[in-house]
Structure 1
């Protein structure tokens, strides 16, 4: 398989949930992409799956020759109405498909889809030691908007969290603060 894999992106169906969970669970032992310290089950993620409304906060899967190799979700940011135009983005790629530019493709799709979802701002929460994901976001114009020092503890070690964000083109310009 070539370095730049072919990937079709589509809305996730409930039948995809076991593979979505499998890809997510592959990230748990690395302590790089999730603060979950134990694997999850499809049943434990069913409610989360159903919160993803295709017209508002979709859950998408990436396929290579019919096999799901990645997924991406839009989540409400902070859950209050004033933040409705901001979404948290999560991207997970199967280990054997990492490093093949799939994250970049998913991120580009998210940004292209955002206006139709009435999303003006995308944010991501990443561990500060997740160098590949930080590199991807920075190369795509995301900036570090904050850092929470040593807020996660896993395996007796503390980890910091970076808050990365991007105001999307075409979004209404923020109002200037009065002097």
Structure 2
């Protein structure tokens, strides 16, 4: 079943947080080591705006099955057209091609928010995400060795990027 994107509303925040928290125990997706709360994520939510750094929910039928966000890359004006891209999917729908459907929609979303470059920060151990982004033309632009410690093991951070015309 196809998915759609909808700008997230504050009422979506508990679901967004739940989907995010599903990834923490694996220590493969996020650098958070403990679950976060809706209150802790409220300021992050409010930093997103439909005009420049949107946060969408991914809907399949009437169900929110994930979220996609563009976040500021670096707080200087010269980087205003570059953003970090994040995609999180509910564990119940992972491996069903939804990530590919979402990344197919990204170029159209960029034109409406004035962004030309996206960066994805992915742990080197998260091979499914690296494979997904590479499938959509993202190249490795950076590699930060052993910058995170997860389960008392060092983990590398891969930075994948893509320019959009």
Answer whether TM exceeds 0.5 for this pair.
Answer: yes
| 1:162 partnered with 2:158 | yes
Q: Choose which of 107, 114, 120 in structure 2 pairs with 1:111.
A: 107
| 1:89 partnered with 2:85 | yes
> CA RMSD for the aligned pairs?
0.8
| 1:18 partnered with 2:17 | no
Aligned length: 165
**Matched residue, 2:42:** 46
**C-alpha distance in 1, partners of 2:12/2:141?**
33
Tell me how far 1:114 sits from its aligned partner: 0.6
**C-alpha distance in 1, partners of 2:107/2:31?**
25
Q: Secondary structure at the match of 2:96?
A: coil
**C-alpha distance in 2, partners of 1:109/1:52?**
18
**C-alpha distance in 2, partners of 1:25/1:117?**
28
Question: Could you list the per-position Cα deviations for residues 56-102 of structure 1 after superposition, in whole angstroms to 9, with x for gaps in the alignment?
Answer: 11000011221110100000111111100101000000001001111
**C-alpha distance in 2, partners of 1:57/1:105?**
20
**C-alpha distance in 1, partners of 2:141/2:47?**
27
**Matched residue, 1:36:** 32
* Structure 1 segments unaligned to the other structure (5+ residues): 171-179
**C-alpha distance in 2, partners of 1:138/1:67?**
28
* Stretch moving more, 57-66 or 21-30: 57-66
Q: Secondary structure at the match of 1:95?
A: coil
TM-score by length of 2: 0.97
Give the alignment of 1:66-145 within 5 angstroms.
66-145=62-141
* Structure 2 segments unaligned to the other structure (5+ residues): none
